[in-house]
Amino acid sequence: MSFEAGSGLLTAWGESASLMRYLDDLFRSWAAAVGAVEYLFPPVISVRALDRAGFFASFPHFTTAVAPLRDVETAGRFVDRARRGPVDEVGRESLADARYLLAPAACYAIYDHFQGRQLEDDLRVTTLAPCFRREEAYEAASRQWAFWMREIVCIGRLGTVQSFLDGFRERLARTLQSAGFPFVVAAATDPFFDRSDPRLLMQRLGPVKDEIRYQGSLAIASVNFHRNFFGERFDIRDASGGPAFSGCVAFGLERWMTSLTREYGDDWKAYPPSLSIGPCRDFVM
């Protein structure tokens, strides 16, 4: 592994790259155990979709925007400029307005995809995505500008979503306990919602985000209940016809790599049985 602290960018190879792949295979096996369908979304999401999800009201500082050059004349000027000397930046005056962003979490693409749908059945969906969060400072494999997140999402009726989240919270804890992994489950507040939204108060009254924290501090997974926030924002209706409820379980791959390597080394073939990929022995929902 190598890490550029200034930019928050990690490069993994060999054993580290294998471990990242293994971890995602493990999370996918947990997703498969609950019947989640895998989606592969584009690595960018529209500004409009993220705004609908409440991003600009909550996390605008995370913004990593994506923009092409303004026009072909501007592109032509870069040919000349590159001949005259090194190019180390593309000034904002050369860019078009940005209509896409690199998302700060994997699940936004899911709500956007199902926008305007009337669901006949409750949904379980999983996806892996490169995520981006601009921060003041970065740390290898724990706080990065770019990182990988696997999410497993349930959208539908309240009871289904609650059972999905309760089941996952319990099974995750049992799996890690049986591996002898040092962790705590802690309630967290996360401004998923517009700060003026009364649901933020509800979130504070009754926690809707539980984090699995390694050695008490590094959040390696979170279990999130969004109530019907995304159902309303994206006009997704559940079988009852009302705004769908949703919840997600999120795994940060680099953070799992850090903590599992510290506990068990980087040879995942020798990991405890509950962290191995089998016929879901230890992880049946």
Q: Is 63 in the site for a copy of itself (CB under 8 A)?
A: yes
**Residue from 29, 32, 33, 39 in contact with a copy of itself (CB under 8 A):** 39
CB of 206 to a copy of itself, least distance (A): 25
Listed ranges 55-63, 178-186, 221-229, 233-241: which one lies at the site for a copy of itself (CB under 8 A): 55-63
Q: Is 76 in the site for a copy of itself (CB under 8 A)?
A: yes
Nearest to a copy of itself of 123, 223 (CB atom): 123
Q: How many angstroms separate the CA atoms of 243 and 231, rounded?
A: 5
Contact 257, 141 (CB under 8 A): yes
Q: Is 123 in the site for a copy of itself (CB under 8 A)?
A: no
Which long-range contacts link 113-119 to residues 24+ away (Cβ below 8 Å)?
Answer: 113/39, 113/41, 114/155, 114/234, 114/236, 115/49, 115/52, 115/234, 115/235, 115/236, 116/234, 116/235, 116/236, 117/236, 117/237, 118/237, 118/241, 119/155, 119/156, 119/236, 119/237, 119/238, 119/239, 119/244
Cα distances (Å, whole numbers) of residue 215 to 106, 168, 218, 219: 25, 20, 7, 9
CB of 118 to a copy of itself, least distance (A): 17
Q: Is 84 in the site for a copy of itself (CB under 8 A)?
A: no
Q: Is 277 in the site for a copy of itself (CB under 8 A)?
A: no
Between residue 195 and residue 234, which ones bind a copy of itself under the rule CB under 8 A? 195-196
Nearest to a copy of itself of 201, 281 (CB atom): 201
Nearest to a copy of itself of 51, 282 (CB atom): 51
Q: How many angstroms separate the CA atoms of 232 and 116, rounded?
A: 10
Listed ranges 6-14, 163-171, 207-215, 225-233: which one lies at the site for a copy of itself (CB under 8 A): 6-14
**Residue from 29, 32, 33, 46 in contact with a copy of itself (CB under 8 A):** 46
